Amino acid sequence: MLPKILFPHGETLRETLPHYAEVAAVSEKALAALDERSQGEWFHVDIEETISRLHTHLLDLMEKGLLKFETLCFLYQARPLGKIASAEEDDQSGSLRVRQSFENRLVFFPDYDVALSQYQLFTAAENAWPEFQFFAKSEPAALAFLEAMNELLRIELMNSITFLVDTDEGVKRRNYGEMAIVNRDDVILEAGIKKDIFRSIDEFFLEDGVFFKEYGVPYKRGILLYGAPGNGKTTLVKSITGSTEAPVVYWQITEFTSSYTVQEVFGTVSRLAPAILVIEDIDSMPEFTRSVFLNTLDGTQSREGLFIIGTTNYPERIDPALINRAGRFDRAYEIPSPDKKLRKQYLQKLDVKSIFTPEQLDDMAKLSKGLSISQLNELYMSTALNWHYEGETKYGERIQELQKQSRRAAKNDWEEADSPIGFG
């Protein structure tokens, strides 16, 4: 039973607290509707911060039929009673459909005996923004619902990749199905580094971090992958996320990244733990946000159960505080341009039609010094086209062109190129 309330719902509020009476009128009707559906002593529970980060996931679960719900009533007749929006978050195709919403409605979850609404309070004092209101008959019931939702969401996200993108309207979420599978054997990397990285990730998720508990170390880890573009950092990350039984969240940093979005992202991901958080191009973190980001990395609770993977093409732009302090990024791995052995191995893997002799592959590996993995892909594609249409590969010429492009890119010297780039 609830403790005594000094100002309960009632007509006398109009005389003693006139502005509060307008708020209480909405609350009274909502609680009455809930009591009619499931008798009990309903009351408001403050979980605003949690629900603001979780509500879009709840709507997804509801739309997929994974979370049973009932719309008990709408609050205001002059407010929206339905919603039509893009089929998917940030969808640019123009495809529309009916979407679920909490706005201006009282949504009841019968399996958990709790309810959720999002509505504005129209008062003489102010016209507030819509706020989430959570209702339950006890605080343990509210907590049980949140814990169940975190677990349900974690299970659901095991089969998809989630992207969190910082925008001028806050963090937007996009869900994708399984990305193209990259096998660990397809990662072209020095054997020692490759073994160390995969062992680290496998041990982290083995029996929910039994290694960390056994040895009494904090259950969190972070690695930083750096190196020139095109050498397989993204491929390595895909092979990790695609072969690990854990939810995966990619965080896209933009010019809109702020202290609030840092806290929102970590708050969202921590509820999925143990999980993987990928932060690509981490050097693009805005200067005014870095101190909050570093403090968040230092926090034990915000990092519990998270394996963070950061990547950068420009290690010289990385704040030294990221890697010079234990507990932020534990290890930094350079992903260099492949050496001759790896170049030959990769070209041989690409050559499914066997258009090159072993001697030619060896010569290509020798001549292609300095080329990245992505440039080796282009080398094979262009030489295969030449072979298909002209019966000769001309790989020597193509290697020279790619190396010349690399030198110009390094010097940003495109204006003096012998041939135009892009549209003439």
CA-CA-CA-CA torsion sign (209, 213, 217, 218): positive
User: Band of the pLDDT at 141, cuts 50, 70, 90?
Assistant: very high
198 and 65 in one domain? Answer: no
Give the residue, 57 or 35, on which the prediction is more confident.
35
Position 380 in a domain: yes
| Boundary-marking domain end, from 300, 334, 368 | 334
Number of C-beta neighbours around residue 307 at 10 A: 25
Q: Which helix (H) or strand (E) holds 21?
A: helix 18-37
263 and 149 in one domain? Answer: no
| C-alpha dihedral, 145 to 151 to 152 to 156, nearest 10° | 160
Residue-wise DSSP of 346-376: HHHHH-TT--S-HHHHHHHHHHTTT--HHHH
Distance, in Å, from the CA atom of 349 to the CA atom of 150, rounded to the nearest integer, reads 42
Among 56-60, 90-94, 216-220, name the one with the lowest average pLDDT.
Answer: 90-94
179 and 321 in one domain? Answer: yes
Q: What pLDDT, on a 0 to 100 scale, did the predictor assign at position 93? A: 53
Backbone angles phi, psi at 324, to 5 degrees: -100, 10
Position 7 in a domain: no
Residue-wise DSSP of 250-267: EEE--TT--HHHHHHHHH
Distance, in Å, from the CA atom of 319 to the CA atom of 315, rounded to the nearest integer, reads 9
Q: Is the pLDDT of residue 315 over 80?
A: no
Distance, in Å, from the CA atom of 241 to the CA atom of 179, rounded to the nearest integer, reads 9
Query: First-to-last CA distance in the chain?
Result: 78
User: Band of the pLDDT at 85, cuts 50, 70, 90?
Assistant: confident
pLDDT digit string, tens, across residues 172-231 = 777 665 555 678 888 888 888 999 999 999 999 988 788 888 888 888 888 888 888 888
189 and 307 in one domain? Answer: yes
Which residues lie below 8 Å from residue 387, measured CB to CB, with a gap of 6+? 355, 393
| Six-digit token string for 156 | 């659901």
Distance, in Å, from the CA atom of 293 to the CA atom of 328, rounded to the nearest integer, reads 10
User: Band of the pLDDT at 242, cuts 50, 70, 90?
Assistant: confident
Contact 73, 106 (CB under 8 A): yes
User: Band of the pLDDT at 127, cuts 50, 70, 90?
Assistant: low
Half-sphere exposure of residue 49: CA atoms within 13 angstroms, side-chain side: 9
233 and 203 in one domain? Answer: yes
Q: Please state whether beta strands 43-45 and 306-312 pair in parallel, antiparallel, or not at all (unpaired).
A: unpaired
User: Band of the pLDDT at 423, cuts 50, 70, 90?
Assistant: very low
373 and 279 in one domain? Answer: no
Overall number of domains in the chain? 3
Q: Is 364 exposed, middle or buried (0-12, 13-18, 19+ CB in 10 A)?
A: buried
User: What DSSP designation does 179 have?
Assistant: P
| C-alpha dihedral, 350 to 356 to 362 to 368, nearest 10° | -60
User: Band of the pLDDT at 54, cuts 50, 70, 90?
Assistant: confident
User: Band of the pLDDT at 89, cuts 50, 70, 90?
Assistant: low
315 and 177 in one domain? Answer: yes
Position 76 in a domain: yes
Distance, in Å, from the CA atom of 289 to the CA atom of 412, rounded to the nearest integer, reads 29
Position 43 in a domain: yes
Position 163 in a domain: no
Q: Is 258 exposed, middle or buried (0-12, 13-18, 19+ CB in 10 A)?
A: middle
Q: What pLDDT, on a 0 to 100 scale, did the predictor assign at position 228? A: 82
Structural domain boundaries enclosing 368:
340-413
| Boundary-marking domain end, from 287, 315, 334 | 334
134 and 239 in one domain? Answer: no
Backbone angles phi, psi at 84, to 5 degrees: -125, 125
126 and 183 in one domain? Answer: no
Position 4 in a domain: no
347 and 319 in one domain? Answer: no
| Boundary-marking domain end, from 319, 334, 349 | 334
Q: What pLDDT, on a 0 to 100 scale, did the predictor assign at position 302? A: 66
- Top mean pLDDT of 208-217, 225-234, 327-336, 350-359 is at 350-359
Distance, in Å, from the CA atom of 331 to the CA atom of 302, rounded to the nearest integer, reads 19
- Report, as an integer, the average pLDDT of 229-237: 84
327 and 187 in one domain? Answer: yes
Q: What pLDDT, on a 0 to 100 scale, did the predictor assign at position 415? A: 46
Mapped onto helix, strand or coil, the DSSP state of residue 244 is coil
Position 166 in a domain: no
Q: What pLDDT, on a 0 to 100 scale, did the predictor assign at position 410? A: 65
Q: What pLDDT, on a 0 to 100 scale, did the predictor assign at position 29? A: 94
Contact 182, 239 (CB under 8 A): yes
CATH code of 182's domain: 3.40.50.300
Backbone angles phi, psi at 76, to 5 degrees: -115, 130
Distance, in Å, from the CA atom of 269 to the CA atom of 306, rounded to the nearest integer, reads 8
Distance, in Å, from the CA atom of 307 to the CA atom of 404, rounded to the nearest integer, reads 39
Contact 170, 163 (CB under 8 A): no
Position 306 in a domain: yes
178 and 151 in one domain? Answer: no
